[in-house]
Amino acid sequence: MMAYLDQFLNFLSTLPAWLIYIFLGISAFVENIFPPIPGDTITAFGAFLVGTHKVGFIGVYVSTTIGSLTGFMCLFWIGYRLGRPFFIERDYRFFKAEDILRAEQWFRKYGYFLILLNRFLPGIRSVISISGGISGLKWGRVALLALVSCAAWNLIWIEVGYAIGSNWAVVRNTMSQVMSRYNMVVLAATAVVVLFLLTRRYLRRGGNKDQG
């Protein structure tokens, strides 16, 4: 997989700047539709090209943000149009029924706040967009919050990639380590929150029984 990615990135670096922007935008879009696509890696490569003065920061930032936003809203629309039974009955590999059911529970508790955080939750971004559409959230508010989330995430990602340096091997390895550690922190924080909620529910039930 990485060998093919490296070949693609080498090819990408030979293109004119305007075409690179298009490819970066498309990769950010496709990454939302097909989660296995390493969209963030390609975005980091865009940051590397900024460091080599092959492309401009604004072009990379705008193209990846628009791609991320349109990808998110596309899945949101699909969830809205096809509805809950379509995904629950089919239980797709990357849109598992249990993940959608879990996301629906999160939406009941946190609502639009989950949309705002979607880009900072790797691995479940697509599930969040699908579930948001299924839940019937308002389009305008979702688009605005998704834009803020995409813009903030891409800005951080591109800034970090640009700051690391102009050696792509170093950028890729460092960004991989950063994402690995970030994912571990997110998983640990999620586990703590879930444990806290379960403990609070258990204590409340115990208190109700005592009162009864």
172-202 pLDDT, tens digit each:
666 666 666 655 665 666 566 556 656 766 6
Residue 205 resides in a domain: no
Q: Which two tokens mark 33?
A: 């539709």
> Could you read off the pLDDT of 19-68 as tens digits, one per residue?
999 988 998 898 877 765 666 777 777 888 887 788 889 999 999 999 99
- Taking the model in full, what pTM does it have? 0.73
pLDDT of residue 4: 62
> Could you read off the pLDDT of 123-150 as tens digits, one per residue?
677 888 888 888 888 899 999 999 999 9
Give the span between the Cα atoms of 116 and 100, in whole angstroms: 18
Give the span between the Cα atoms of 102 and 127, in whole angstroms: 10
Q: What is the count of structural domains for the chain? A: 1
Residue 212 resides in a domain: no
Residue 201 resides in a domain: no
CB 100 within 8 A of CB 87: yes
**What dihedral do alpha carbons 95, 139, 78, 67 form, nearest 10°?**
-80
Domain that holds residue 167: 2-182
Residue 210 resides in a domain: no
pLDDT of residue 65: 94
